[in-house]
Amino acid sequence: MAIVELESVKKVYTLGKAEVHAVRGVTFSIEKGDFASIVGPSGSGKSTILNMIGCIDQPTEGIVRINGTVTGGLKDKELTKLRHETLGFIFQSFNLIPVLNVYENIEFPLLLGKNRRSRKETREWIEFLIEAVGLADHMHHKSNELSGGQRQRVAIARALVTKPEIVLADEPTANLDSKTGQSIIELMKKMNSELNTTFIFSTHDRSIMEIADHVIQLLDGLIVEDSKTKAEAGSIS
């Protein structure tokens, strides 16, 4: 079952008098539970596609369907609600909220909407995530007291806290050294396997794209390859 569908999607930006065709008409779908990677060189349209899937940008043409909902035409309030209920985000530069500590950063998305869990359940869930990303000893640290890798782990837990259907990660390892980057990808894979959350991440690092079971290769705003090789669940510890 496709959880993300893009049909003939184009995106044109206007930069002064010039038009930039960031995405020139792409069609693909991502199944629920996929660990999908969008790869390509800089300027190939990876981030633009992730932004459109993430409902923070709208296509100029074509249809983006998230979990069955066509995002085009939705008002800001509806898009925000869709983001909150369906999507989680991991950013290249972590984007933690500096005034909040680890626990509060992870808790943050839960406080934005209606939280149906009890306070105890919420606490247990957040602590489980903190444990899962290996930051149990840093629960009350502020983001400026953490290393890059630790920050990205917080970001992963934050992305997962609302139990979203889809987690989008825009170059999650770009600001990390290769070893830390590898461990972050492995952590994401582990979460993908354990929680059956769909992960879509963009990268131009060939070594980490190989872990993905669905790779979409872009060049100049067009798909050059869309390959699926479903990896065995639980193969990464």
Partner 1 sequence: MFLTMKVAFRNISRQKKRSFLLAGAIAFGMMVITLMNALTGGAVINIRDNFSHALGGHVFITGREWTEAGQMIMKIRPDANLDRLLEENARQIEAFTRRSQAMPSLIFGSQQTMHLLYGVDFSEEDRLIDSLVVVEGSLAELGKRDDIIVLPEPVAERLGVEVGETVLIRLETLTGQQNVGEARVAAFIKDQEELGLSAAYTSRANLNSLLGMEPHEYQILNMFVTDLDLVDQFARTFREGLLSPEEAEEAEDEPEVTVTVAGMPIDPGTRTQEVTPWEGTRYQVMNINQIMEAVELVVGVLNRVGLVIFLILLVVTMVGITNTFRMIMIERTKEIGTMRAFGMQQKQVKRIFLWEAVLLGLLGCLGGLVIAGVIALAVGSVSLNTDPSLQFFLNNGRITFSLPLQDVAVNVALVILTSLLAAYWPARAAAKMSPMKALSSHT
Window contacting partner 1 (CB under 8 A); options: 95-103, 186-194, 211-219, 222-230: 95-103
Torsion angle of C-alpha atoms 102, 103, 108, 113, degrees rounded to 10:
160
Q: Which of 32, 65, 84, 204 binds partner 1 (CB under 8 A)?
A: 84
Tokens 């980057």 -> residue? 181
Q: Which of 70, 97, 136, 224 binds partner 1 (CB under 8 A)?
A: 97
Number of amino acids touching partner 1 (CB under 8 A): 27
Q: Which of 46, 158, 189, 214 binds partner 1 (CB under 8 A)?
A: 158
CB of 109 to partner 1, least distance (A): 4
Question: CA-CA distances (angstroms) from residue 103 to 17, 139, 146?
Answer: 46, 5, 13
Q: Which of 12, 100, 222, 231 binds partner 1 (CB under 8 A)?
A: 100
Binding to partner 1 in span 24-63, by CB under 8 A = 51, 54, 56-57
Residue 224 binds partner 1 (CB under 8 A): no
Tokens 């995106």 -> residue? 11
Q: Which of 68, 72, 113, 234 binds partner 1 (CB under 8 A)?
A: 113
Distance from C-alpha of 133 to C-alpha of 153, rounded to nearest angstrom: 6
Residue 93 or residue 147: which is nearer to partner 1 going by CB?
93
Nearest partner of 214 among 205, 222, 202, 158, judged by Cα: 202
Residue 139 binds partner 1 (CB under 8 A): no
Backbone angles phi, psi at 58, to 5 degrees: -115, 145
Burial code (b: 16+ CB inside 10 Å, e: under 16) for 130-148 equals bebbebeebeeebbeebeb
Q: Which residues bind partner 1 (CB under 8 A)?
A: 51, 54, 56-57, 76-77, 80-81, 83-85, 88-89, 91, 93, 95, 97-100, 108-109, 111-113, 158, 162
